[in-house]
Amino acid sequence: MVSIMESPDGGGGGAMVQQTEEDLGPPWLRPLLSTSFFVACGAHPDLSKNECNLFCLGCTGDALCAYCLPAHRDHHVVQIRRSSYHNVIRVSEVGKLIDISHVQTYVINSAKIVFLNGRPQARPGKGVTNTCEICCRSLPDSFRFCSLGCKLGGMRWDPSLTFAIRPKRGQDSGDGSGSDYDSFSPKKVRKTGYELGRFDRGIRWSDDEGSKSNTAPITPTTPPINRCRPSRRKGIPHRAPFYG
What are the pLDDT tens digits along the chain (244 aa)?
444 444 444 444 445 455 666 678 899 999 999 999 999 999 999 999 999 999 999 998 899 999 999 999 899 999 999 998 999 999 999 999 999 999 999 999 899 999 999 998 877 777 788 999 999 999 999 999 999 999 999 998 898 999 998 776 655 544 444 444 333 333 333 333 333 333 333 323 333 333 333 444 444 455 555 566 666 666 777 777 776 5
106: enclosing H helix or E strand: strand 106-108
Query: 23: which DSSP letter?
Result: T
Give the torsion sign (CA, 186, 192, 198, 200): positive
**80-85: which pairs have CB atoms within 8 A and are 24 or more residues apart?**
80/37, 80/38, 80/53, 80/54, 80/55, 80/116, 81/53, 81/108, 81/113, 82/37, 82/38, 83/108, 83/113, 83/115
Distances (CA, A) of 131 to 51, 107, 109, 123, 144: 34, 19, 25, 10, 7
Q: In the prediction, which pLDDT does 19 show? A: 63
Backbone region of residue 85 per phi and psi (left: phi > 0; alpha: psi in -120 to 50; beta: other values): left
Domain boundaries, the chain: 23-156
The closest alpha carbon to 114, from 158, 65, 62, 151, belongs to 151
- Alpha-carbon gap, residue 236 to 101, rounded angstroms: 83
- Alpha-carbon gap, residue 194 to 206, rounded angstroms: 10
pTM: 0.63
* Phi, psi angles (nearest 5°) of residue 8: -75, 110
Virtual CA dihedral for 196, 199, 204, 207, nearest 10 degrees? 40
- Alpha-carbon gap, residue 153 to 27, rounded angstroms: 16
Burial class (CB in 10 A: 0-12, 13-18, 19+), 243: exposed
